Amino acid sequence: MRLRAAPGRPRVTSENRKGLRSLEPYPETRGPRVSEEREQPVLRAPSHAPLRSSEEPAHHAHAGRRRLLLAVAMGLVAGTVYVGLRSAIHDDTPAPPSGSVSTSADVGAEAAVRRATAGELLLQQMSSAIAGGDRAAFTGIVDPDATTFAPEAQQVFENLQALPLASIVMRYVSDNPHQLPADRRREIGGQEAWLAQVEVSWRLTGFDPQPVRLTVPMTLVTRDGSTYLSSLSDQVRPGQRRPFWLLGKIRAVRGERSLVVSLDPKADLVAYARTVDSAIESVTAVWGPNWRRTVVLYLPRTQSQMEYVLGARQHTYDQIAAVTTAEADERSVGVPVRIVANPARFMSLGTQGRRIVLTHETTHVASRATASAVPLWFAEGFADYVAFKAVHVPTGSAAKELLAAVRDGKGPKMLPEPAAFSASSKQLAIAYEGSWLACQLIATKYGEDKLVRLYRTVHASRSPNGMRDGFRTVLNTTQEQFADDWLRYLRRLADE
Ligand SMILES: [Zn+2]
């Protein structure tokens, strides 16, 4: 599929820009900001940390009749959350004093071993039924008494058949018999019902060099001597990431190098796959072919589905059109990266706006922006540079707010700080426009190849000084000198 979106002229009016000013303040419940994570790529949560996400609305682009907001969402730092559960199985069961009769601790340990053994067997049966497309075997592991859950389970089976699964593995991580409330246990019935934390890892053929790994709480029940899967929705924590295929009926369409997975029954997935394929071409034209050149786009039907995929609190992404995220509970190198659309905003953009959004996000995918020491202004400016090169927007329109501020003597004095990119920032529009123009200036003055080399150099440095060093080694200038050049460039554009 080689169709490109027809390149028209997005109209950017001053009314469009006002939307940004009403952004909600950065909610307290959200995790660390992208900028902090970027500067500390090995940031870890303390062991008592609640499961939380760390997304930052980190971008807007400007096209069509509204401002687009995009974001790089970082991986989560929640790996230690279940340590406590593990210790419930192992550490709280002291060895009995020699010669004593069995204690309640022994009984607890035996029960834990029994649950884990039954659970592991069930998970093996479930994953091999899914991998083998064996619906009868899958139905056999679903709790026959869980009538509400049965159709949901069948949907999960069908969803996983619709994906190009290379592998799926389920690992019994831990359990806690008290995590399921007593009334819920009574409702399920059987000899024993409990909540197990299961690590599900799966890999998409042609897209994922490494599997996605997410922890999914699964309710298991033993009745009449057999253990079954009884629910997949008990005790999901707020802010816990959920696999896309658990959220409803999905469809998947493959483009040349793209995969679009949708929870929206009406979306034209072929058109989206073509747009992503075009975005991949546009990004490759600037970045070069040295990346995977494949992109997976998730298209939820509702914003709350998007927030489940990202492990974000409700309404976090009210103003955001799309997010690039590493799909994982824990950050590590090589975790599959996804673009996740915020459906209402994304759909309302029009063809051209979606093309800009997806090119911007695909730039983040290619340049591995979810795990990078590149400063935000450079990451966002570079993504906009690539997007606006693919879909031309006149500078006077695309940087309208910034240039107006410069004319009024209220322009920036320095390259945008990370704080300028937070959703509550009053300088958000100006920060993005300025970052874009900084990258434009580098490309104009030094050449696009130097712009790309600078990005690669700063990314590879993995150092907080990488940007300063990069200006010196790649552009033979200093950050201060470049900032002066940029301010002059802004004044010249403002006067045109
Ligand atoms: Zn961005």
pLDDT band at residue 318 under the 50/70/90 scheme: confident
Q: Is the pLDDT at 262 greater than 80, yes or no?
A: yes
Share of the chain above pLDDT 70, in %: 79
In the predicted model, is pLDDT for residue 109 greater than 70? Answer: yes
DSSP per residue over 130-143, as a string? Answer: HHTT-HHHHHHHB-
Q: Where are the domains of the chain?
A: 14-76+248-495, 83-96+104-236
Same fold, 14-76+248-495 and 83-96+104-236: no
- pLDDT average, residue stretch 383-388: 97
Of all helices (H) and strands (E), which one includes residue 259?
strand 258-262
Task: State the distance from the centre of ligand 1 to the C-alpha of 34, rounded, in angstroms.
Answer: 11
Q: How remote is the CA of residue 431 from the centroid of ligand 1, in Å?
A: 12
| pLDDT above 50 (res 1) | no
Ligand 1 centroid, distance to 30 Cα (angstroms):
18
- 279 alpha carbon – ligand 1 mean position (Å): 14
According to DSSP, residue 269 is labeled H
Q: What is the percentage of the chain residues whose pLDDT exceeds 90?
A: 66
Distance 319 CA to ligand 1 centre (A): 13
Kindly report the CA angle at 323 between 320 and 329, in degrees rounded to 5?
125
CATH 1.10.390 fits 14-76+248-495, yes or no: yes
- Residue 178, pLDDT score: 87
Distance 369 CA to ligand 1 centre (A): 9
d(CA 180, CA 387): 48
Question: Which pLDDT band holds residue 57 (cuts at 50, 70, 90)?
Answer: very low
For residue 67, report the distance from its CA to the centre of ligand 1, in Å.
13
Per-residue confidence (pLDDT) for residue 369, from 0 to 100: 86
pLDDT tier, 106 (very low <50, low <70, confident <90, very high otherwise): confident
Q: How far is the CA of 363 from the centre of ligand 1 (A)?
A: 8
- Range 83-96+104-236 classified under CATH 3.40.50.620: no
End-to-end CA distance of the chain: 40
- C-alpha 32 to ligand 1 mean position (Å): 17
CA of 60 to the centre of ligand 1 (A): 7
User: Would you state the structure tokens that stand for residue 92, as one six-digit string?
Assistant: 């709280």
Q: How far is the CA of 405 from the centre of ligand 1 (A)?
A: 23
Q: What is the pLDDT of residues 365-374, one digit of tens each?
A: 999 888 888 9
Residue 171 CA to ligand 1 center (angstroms) comes to 34
Q: Read off the pLDDT band of 101 (50, 70, 90).
A: low
pLDDT in tens, 164-214: 999 999 999 999 888 899 999 999 999 999 999 999 999 999 999 999 999
For residue 426, pLDDT over 80 is answered with no
Confidence of residue 424 (pLDDT cuts 50, 70, 90): low
Lowest mean pLDDT among 229-233, 312-316, 339-343: 312-316
Q: Is the distance from CB of 370 to CB of 337 less than 8 angstroms? A: yes
For 50: left if phi > 0, alpha if psi spans -120 to 50, otherwise beta; the answer is beta
Distance 277 CA to ligand 1 centre (A): 18
Q: Which helix (H) or strand (E) holds 452?
A: helix 448-461
Q: What is the DSSP string of 74-125?
A: EPPB-TTTTHHHHHHHHTTSPPPPTTPPP-HHHHHHHHHHHHHHHHHHHHHH
Q: Report CA(185)–ligand 1 centroid distance (Å).
A: 45
410 C-alpha to center of ligand 1: Å?
Answer: 25
* Residues counted in the chain: 496
* Amino acid making up residue 404: A
Would the pTM count as exceeding 0.85? Answer: no
Average pLDDT over residues 310-317: 84
